[in-house]
A and B are shown apart, each in its own frame.
Chain A
Amino acid sequence: MEKYPGEALSLEEMKKVTQEKWSPRVKYAWSCGEAMSRFLNELKKGKLIGRKCHTCGRVIFPPKMFCEICFKPTDEWVYLPDTGTVMTYSASYLDKDANRITEPILVGVIAIDGASEDMGIMHYFGEMTADEITFGKKVQAVWKPEKERTGSVTDIKWFKPLKE
């Protein structure tokens, strides 16, 4: 086999070659704008809100001030229930930094009731085991106590099975 260019380094060899280190200071304060500001402020009140487009009739969640399908401004704010359906899920043995964890994080996409088809958000599942999550399962948001809410998606602790 012919030799292709490149000099591979093992982790040990990597430590021996000359090198520089850097930890950049890169900080942001993203403007949330019209739609996300309202969405976050409603979360603080324990409510989910979407935006309705009268042209295509969709209720968009999370809300946008514009409809990306019709390309026009959306028309009205619509409160939504805090219940939904499991679209997909995973049980993760990795945390955000790829560290191994023994108790899996249960996470998935929840299509919110009252929003248009497939309109959901990613969030955690709680008060159930990995085996108890199924496609199409009905779930409900578990909110933090009002005093602890800051206007963030983490004002919802997780979604739990909905008791009929």
Chain B
Amino acid sequence: MEHVACVGAGMTIFSRRLKETGKEMCYEAVRMALEEAELELKDIDTVVCGTAPDAFDGIHMKGENLLDGCGGSKKTYMRVFTGGGTGVLAPIAGWWHVASGLSDVCLVVCEEKMSSCFPHPQSAFAHIWDPILERPLNPNLVWIFAMEMNRYMHVHNIKKEDIALVSVKNKKNALDHPSAQLAANITVDDVLNSEVMAWPVQRLDISPPSDGAAAMIFAREDVVHSITDNPVWVEGVGWCIDSTMWTNRDLYFPQYVAKAAKMAYRMAGIHNPFKDIDVAEPYDPFDYKELHHMEGLLLCKKGEAANLTKEGVTQRDGDLPTCPSGGLLGVGNPIAATMGVKACEIYWQLAGKAGKRQVPDARTGVCQAWGDLMQYGSVMVMRS
């Protein structure tokens, strides 16, 4: 197995609407990553594109449409897609392109342009459900998360005000992120008093739909050192899917995330995740999801994540800084392009390039994404 490092990353701002086309967004993220790595497009031999439903951008086979903006024209180009899990699965795919020995320098580009779906991307979400069993009930996407959140709160007896702390923390962290769409100083009361969407989910529990793109460059060990003195190595990868039938399992714990995490930790030689990991970027499209995923990532025992948050452990200056980027709640949620606040953020943190968001002495980091019908986990461990 070839040793693989990330040598550069880039991302656009995340915004409710961007003027750029999907291709143009990809180009801008890629250019930033190339500049950081001081590489040119000709140095890239392989391109991986990660982008989620075609129904957002409103282009069938949108991977094909985006490919020139991704730098894939006349190149070896591949799109992977695992719903919301794409944001970390795409860099994992970049890893296997390089680790297999097939590619020397691989560019990974993630994109989402949700504003094309007008007036609201909700109409695209209407089609993620089973057409026979669920779509006839006219479901709204928020319902499943509300049901999962409720089950999680019920099983562990967790209070809404404790969950709201995640939203407060991440929106505040996002104040330091140049891409942030919803950075703010808010209070727990703001969250608890915000509009009820589907109980127990309220407006400030949710991340916003966004347009955005992100890019990362991975290189093989023998070329890494000619590119940078400051590589961040991919030490562990894991991905896992659970059954389609989300109504056939207890939703209180994301077993698929735990399986993916174990796979990645085994590869990285991590035995005690809480101790061995210095910074974490679990997927946080909803505030409870950060807690749910900290448990899935085995960073704490089941039901304990809310306490850690309350104790300040997950703050940037805590023992386990979690979502120092500001996450999806603060920076925005352009599905696949959340690679920018997950995998890219861990890269920047470990390379010491996170600017005002920098957490001290971070050597090992983990990022994770989650997707499909609450059934997909993708996990990547990096080390400087």
A contacts, CB < 8 Å to B: 1-11, 13-14, 17, 21-22, 24, 28, 30, 32, 36, 40, 60-62, 68, 87-98, 104, 107-109, 118-124, 130, 135, 152-154
User: With a CB–CB cut-off of 8 A, which chain A residues contact B20?
Assistant: 6-7
12 contacts between A and B (CB under 8 A): A2-B178, A6-B12, A6-B25, A8-B15, A11-B17, A13-B19, A14-B17, A87-B250, A90-B146, A94-B198, A96-B140, A153-B136
B338 CB, nearest partner CB in chain A, Å: 15
Most chain B Cβ neighbours within 10 Å, of A11, A24, A98, A121: A98
Determine if B193 is an interface residue (Cβ-Cβ < 8 Å): no
Interfacial chain B residues near A121, Cβ < 8 Å: 133, 247
Q: Helix, strand, loop or mixed for chain A's interface? A: mixed
Interface residues of B (CB under 8 A from A): 11-20, 25, 28-29, 31-32, 58, 60, 115, 118, 120, 122-123, 126, 131-134, 136-140, 142-143, 146-148, 150-151, 154, 176, 178-179, 195-201, 211-212, 243, 245, 247-251, 355-356
Given the complex, which residues of A lie within 8 Å of B150, measured CB to CB? 88-90
Q: From A96, which residue of chain B is reached at the shortest CB distance?
A: B138
Given A17-B19, A109-B147, A153-B133, CB of A93 within 8 Å of CB of B28? no
A88 and B154 in contact (CB under 8 A), knowing A8-B17, A36-B132, A62-B133?
yes
Q: Is the CB of A5 within 8 A of B12?
A: yes
Counting residue pairs across A and B whose Cβ atoms lie within 8 Å, the total is 155
Residues of A within 8 A of B134 (CB): 122, 153
Among residues of A, the one whose C-beta sits closest to the C-beta of B131 is A30
Shortest A6–chain B CB gap in Å is: 4
Q: Complex Cα distance A96/B199, Å?
A: 15
Question: Distance (Å) between the CB of B83 and the closest chain A CB?
Answer: 18
Query: Min CB distance, B218 to chain A, in Å?
Result: 21
List residues of chain A with CB within 8 A of the CB of B123: 97
Contact yes or no, B142 A92, CB < 8 A: yes
CA of A85 to CA of B356, assembled, Å: 50
* Least CB distance, A111 to chain B, in whole angstroms: 8
Give the nearest-CB partner of B213 in chain A.
A6
B11 and A4 contacting across the interface, CB-CB below 8 Å: yes
A95 and B13 contacting across the interface, CB-CB below 8 Å: no
Q: Is the CB of A108 within 8 A of B249?
A: no
Bound-state Cα–Cα, A73 to B139, Å: 31
Instruction: Output the least CB separation between B261 and chain A (Å).
Output: 22
Q: A5, B133: Cβ atoms under 8 Å?
A: no
A96 to B120, CA, bound (A): 11
Q: How far is the CA of A104 from the CA of B133 in the complex (A)?
A: 21
A2 to chain B, nearest CB (A): 6
> Would you call B178 and A1 a contact (CB within 8 A)?
yes
Query: Inside 8 A of B126's CB, which chain A residues have their CB?
Result: 96-97
Is the CB–CB distance between B122 and A97 below 8 Å? yes
Is B247's CB under 8 angstroms from A5's CB?
no
Contact B140 A92 (CB under 8 A): yes
Do residues A107 and B12 form an inter-chain contact, with CB atoms below 8 A? no
Contacts of B131 in A (CB 8 A): 28, 30
Within the assembled complex, what's the spacing in Å between the Cα atoms of A9 and B15? Answer: 8
Pairs of residues from A and B, 9 with the lowest C-beta to C-beta distance, nearest first: A90-B146, A5-B28, A92-B198, A6-B13, A8-B15, A6-B12, A88-B151, A98-B122, A96-B138
Given A3-B178, A30-B131, A124-B137, verify A93-B249 contact (CB < 8 Å): no
Residue of B nearest to A110 (CB): B247
In whole angstroms, what is the CA distance A153 to B140 when docked?
A: 17
